[in-house]
Amino acid sequence: MVNLHAYNYSLPEESIALRPATPRDASKLLVYDTARDSVVFDRFYNLDRYLPTDSFLVLNNTKVLPARVKMKKETGGKVVTLFLPLSVIPSPVEGSVISALADRKIEVGQKLFFESGDFVKVIGQKEHIFELEFNISRERLYQLLKKYGSMPVPLYLKRTPLKRNQLLKKYQTIFAKHEGSSAAPTASLHFTDRVFNKLRKKNIKKYFVTLHVGLGTFAPITDENLKTKKLHEEYFEIDQPVLQSIEKAKKEGKKLVAVGTTVVRTLESLARDSSPSGKTDLFIYPPYSFKTVDNLITNFHLPKSSLMMLVEAFLQYKKSKRRLFELYNIAIKNNFRFYSFGDAMLIV
């Protein structure tokens, strides 16, 4: 049975990063070598110094949509709606349906209006998730989000000094390509052209997969998760040429460096189900035998989160002498910055 208390820790408020490092690759990097049981501090722009020469990177090229929108009810009241982009379901009878969260009570049957006059209709509710019907194309809906929406940063970033236009750029990887995420793959936020150029000089290649990050990423673990041993579903996709390149590199004995927990979830779902695309509900927690991942780049995560459990499972799989909470305590004592805009950790 999973012991949630093992994933709890106290974090000083000043350790929460409210903005990314400038430049973004100047973030701190904690390198933990599981074989040597050694901890090294550096900056992310020196990542190339710590990756094995026979390694390659796998990154997540999902793109975050500015999906949090201030809308108006028919009564004139305001409601902040957070659309969940990858939940769009086309309907042959009525309009398409998308799931969303709202910051206040909305009734089934109500219409919610964008500033443009376009609207969605509330047609259902399951717990805190609403179903919204819209009679415009998905492309038009996404255009409206880009025009009127703001980035769906987590609540712990509500005090960020960054303005909307800054967040549109900062809460997005430099290689974001496929729209659909409700949150950024934060381990990838540290990468810059400078980092990639240094890796290329060492002949360390990179490949991209897609996993659209859902809000469940930030949700606390529930009794239902523990009972079913499943998590929220997220859509992933791996192109066939990329899959073949990864398989070839692994056969040649090269070490796979997963950039972020979303990449781990994608690759391990592929290994479990042998499908290069689809929805995954994979819940990785100790003990877990990793099928493809050899090294991991990750941020410092929220207490009692599924992300912490995944990283702890990886440490145990690598026969680490230290538990994750020990590494977190070291990071806190050495003024590392935590969460989405925070610093990074490399586990080799």
31-57: pLDDT as tens digits: 999 999 999 999 999 999 999 889 999
Peptide bond into 23 cis (omega under 30): yes
The values of phi and psi at residue 329, to 5°, are -65, -40
Q: Using only C-alpha atoms, what is the Rg of the chain?
A: 20
Give phi and psi for 4, each to the nearest 5. -60, -30
Averaged pLDDT, 194-202: 97
d(CA 304, CA 75): 40
Q: Looking at residue 65, what is its pLDDT?
A: 94
Look at 97 and 189; give whichever has higher pLDDT: 189
Coil, strand or helix: which one is 160?
Answer: coil
pLDDT class of 302 with cuts at 50, 70, 90: very high
Q: Which class is domain 4-64+167-347?
A: alpha beta
| Residue ranges per structural domain of the chain | 4-64+167-347, 68-148
What's the CATH code, domain 68-148? 2.40.10
CB atoms within 10 A of CB 4: 16
Prediction pTM value = 0.92
* Confidence tier at 331 by pLDDT (50, 70, 90): very high
User: CA separation (Å) from 10 to 7, 324, 325, 346?
Assistant: 10, 13, 10, 22
Handedness of CA 346, 276, 197, 17 (dihedral sign): negative
DSSP 171-191: TS-TT--EEEESS--GGGGG-
- Average of pLDDT values for 108-130? 92
Q: Give the closest residue to 35 by CA, choosing from 264, 283, 255, 247.
A: 255
CA distances from 175 to 95, 145, 206 (A): 33, 20, 12
What is the arithmetic mean of pLDDT over 266-284? 91
CA distances from 273 to 97, 116, 215, 250, 293 (A): 28, 44, 23, 18, 16
